[in-house]
Amino acid sequence: MSQSIFSLLKEKRFLPYFCTQACGAMNDNVYKNTLLLIVAFLLPQTSNSSLSSDVIINLAAALFILPFFLFSAHAGLIADKVEKSNLIKRLKLFELGIMCCAALAIWFQQVEVMLLLLFLMGTQSAYFGPVKYALLPQHLSKEQLVQGNALVELGTFVAILFGTLIAGVLIGLDNGTLFAACLVVSLACLGLFSAQFIPHASAANPNLKVKFQPFRQSVSVVKIAKQNKAVFLSILGISWFWFLGATYLTQFPNFAKVYLAAEPEVVSILLAIFSLGIGLGSLLCSKLSGSDIELGLVPIGSIGLTVFGLNLLISTPEHAYLTTQSAFDFIQNPDNWSVMVNLGLIGISGGLYIVPLYAMVQSRSDSKQLAQVIAANNILNALFMVMSALFAIVCLAVIELSIPQLFAVMAVLNALVALYIYQQVPEFTLRFMIWLLSHTMYRVKTSGLNHIPKSGAVVLAANHVSYVDALILAGACKRPVRFVMDKSISQMPGLKYFFKHAKVIPICSPKQDIATYNSAFEQIHQALNNDEVVCIFPEGRLTEDGELNEFRRGIELIIQRDPVPVVPIGLIGLWGSFFSHKDGHALTTKPKRFWSKISVNIAQPIPATQLNAADLQVKIQSILDAKEQVVSYA
């Protein structure tokens, strides 16, 4: 992995935060699994509890998740109102108090007290969740959000894995409860210590009025999240992942016992493969995204969740084992390798899927309401996890599906959920097409990206070589781009729907349709007034000989009305491709030049006062002449 992915861990604005949240995630799982293991293995011996083990195990799951319904909305309001680093310190101090009490309860195996403390830990986690994710955009730039979220997801799932495994090891030791009691207090102390170094993060909305009204506030924060359709559907996508993940994690014990004839240690192997897969997928997402929030990876992740989920059904051994498999036997047996591979690939797909969604929620929400949006996310996550348990009960007990069949049903449902979300927010599909084009069909190198302003209105002007010029430029530019496109292209069957949702501006000559012509310039004016990026192809049509056509005066009319900088761009390497007019009309010749090298060369902006169509053409021609030989990069 690239060193840059981990470079944030060297920075004081991120490392203390990372350690604090990782310690919290590990402590939650050490304590929760210690409770469950005490109930499963020690409770029958001590008989200290009046409750049966089955009741306690299910009650524990409910008590930990209940606070997310009760307190997430209130937590989001508080996180928006107060300074965030101090809030985290107070929450970690609260955690330390809970864990000191928990240590005594573990030592004396007081299960009822441990259940109460588990509810309090769930409460602490519910209040920590909104501030945890709302703080990231204040300490990281937009370009670092994907890396930050990838590391957080990696740290969280590795912490969950180690917390679960360590609890199992400790309870199996003599005086294991003593070691577990010491560990939960130690982790709380480490979390509180690292929290002292989290930099100041000012209140997003200090004038916000906060009252404790759980139901009303929960409805309110969900309504706030729904104000931005793309953000809300991203939250639904995240919640669906937790629905899916909770189903897998819950079924691992019986899946290993019944279908793999495995000993309990194999459950830990399955958990490790799944969790590490998500961590690796998160890192891979950061690697593939670079400094951008690459939404095109979300469909790739969802495809993987479906394909490898179905493969898990196919790869599950059909024959019954005569003897129980130990962990060593399980790993050695070739029949199990496909199960492990598919489970790991499901985890990797999950990492690719969830990291961009978290980054999108953080980057596109109103900063004054971000913590409340995160609270809505936590509420819906909790709801979907409860629904996953009910759904699994119906499938397994009522419909009488097998666990592998349940996994296959989840894979099919994942495809349906993905299709719904991508139909509602075509941006995901568009970014997916752009990512595939620029990473599989072509090798795209971009130079001069820093010449495109990070904010404010700007016009991009490029030569027009092929039908995929807009997609190549959209993939290169880190800001959303409004493309001015010939009306006939924007109305192409199959693409019309996507162009509409990409907010393409159709244009034609005034002789063809004066209304469309005038509407195009009005839309360009509105976009520039909204500080958007507008891209035009001044030639007005695709080149038929590989050379620049004469630039039309449309660019001058745009700049006269809205005097914004114009960034010249030269596209090299697309002439001769399947999408260009070389050797015949585009899209009618034999596909060729796939995986060829494409160069996007961006020059310094031209001030509006110095711009005219003829000089702009000379400038872009000079870019093409200067770069023609440089396209043979390694």
In a domain, 633, yes or no: no
The pLDDT assigned to 384 comes to 92
3-state SS of 385-408 is HHHHHHHHHHHHHHCCCCHHHHHH
User: Cβ contacts of residue 537 below 8 Å, gap of 6+?
Assistant: 461, 462, 463, 464, 469, 484
Q: Are residues 261 and 185 in the same domain?
A: no
When pLDDT is averaged across residues 186-190 and rounded to a whole number, the result is 97
Residue pair 361/235 in contact (Cβ under 8 Å)? The answer is: yes
Q: What percent of the chain has pLDDT over 70?
A: 92
Q: Are residues 414 and 470 in the same domain?
A: no
Radius of gyration of the chain (CA): 28
Q: Encode pLDDT of 285-301 as tens digits.
A: 888 876 677 888 999 99
pLDDT of 24 strictly over 90:
yes
Least confident among 177-186, 270-279, 344-353: 270-279
pLDDT of 628 strictly over 60:
no
Q: Encode pLDDT of 599-620 as tens digits.
A: 999 999 999 999 899 999 999 9
Total domain count, the chain: 3
The pLDDT assigned to 633 comes to 39
Q: Are residues 200 and 238 in the same domain?
A: no
Q: Are residues 564 and 619 in the same domain?
A: yes
When pLDDT is averaged across residues 378-403 and rounded to a whole number, the result is 89
Q: Are residues 287 and 207 in the same domain?
A: no
Q: Which of 186, 212, 238 is the last residue before a domain boundary?
A: 212
The pLDDT assigned to 470 comes to 87
Q: Are residues 523 and 587 in the same domain?
A: yes
Confidence label for 53 from pLDDT (cuts 50, 70 and 90): low
Q: Is 330 or 323 the better-scoring residue by pLDDT?
A: 330
The pLDDT assigned to 17 comes to 95
Residue pair 405/313 in contact (Cβ under 8 Å)? The answer is: yes
Residue whose C-alpha is closest to residue 343's, from 262, 421, 411: 411
Range ranked top by mean pLDDT from 484-488, 504-508, 589-593: 504-508
The pLDDT assigned to 439 comes to 76
In a domain, 302, yes or no: yes
Domain that residue 474 falls in: 436-627
The pLDDT assigned to 581 comes to 81
The pLDDT assigned to 4 comes to 61
Q: Are residues 243 and 314 in the same domain?
A: yes
Q: Are residues 382 and 516 in the same domain?
A: no
The CATH number given to whatever domain includes residue 41 is 1.20.1250.20
Q: Strand pairing partners for 570?
A: 601
Packing angle of the helix pair 111-139, 370-393 (nearest 10 deg): 140
Q: Are residues 154 and 167 in the same domain?
A: yes
When pLDDT is averaged across residues 402-417 and rounded to a whole number, the result is 94
In a domain, 431, yes or no: no
pLDDT of 176 strictly over 90:
no
Q: Are residues 362 and 457 in the same domain?
A: no
When pLDDT is averaged across residues 548-576 and rounded to a whole number, the result is 92
Q: For residues 141 and 118, what is the distance between their CA atoms, to the nearest angstrom?
A: 36
In a domain, 79, yes or no: yes
Mean pLDDT taken over the chain: 87
In a domain, 308, yes or no: yes
The pLDDT assigned to 2 comes to 45
Residue pair 419/574 in contact (Cβ under 8 Å)? The answer is: no
The pLDDT assigned to 43 comes to 64
The CATH number given to whatever domain includes residue 613 is 3.40.1130.10
The pLDDT assigned to 580 comes to 81
Q: What percent of the chain has pLDDT over 90?
A: 44
3 state SS of 494: coil
The pLDDT assigned to 171 comes to 81
Q: Are residues 241 and 375 in the same domain?
A: yes
Dihedral of the alpha carbons of 405, 410, 411, 415, in degrees to the nearest 10:
140
Least confident among 73-87, 105-119, 165-179, 407-421: 165-179
Q: Are residues 197 and 277 in the same domain?
A: no
Q: Encode pLDDT of 500-544 as tens digits.
A: 777 899 998 888 889 999 999 999 999 999 999 999 999 988 888
State the pTM of this model: 0.79
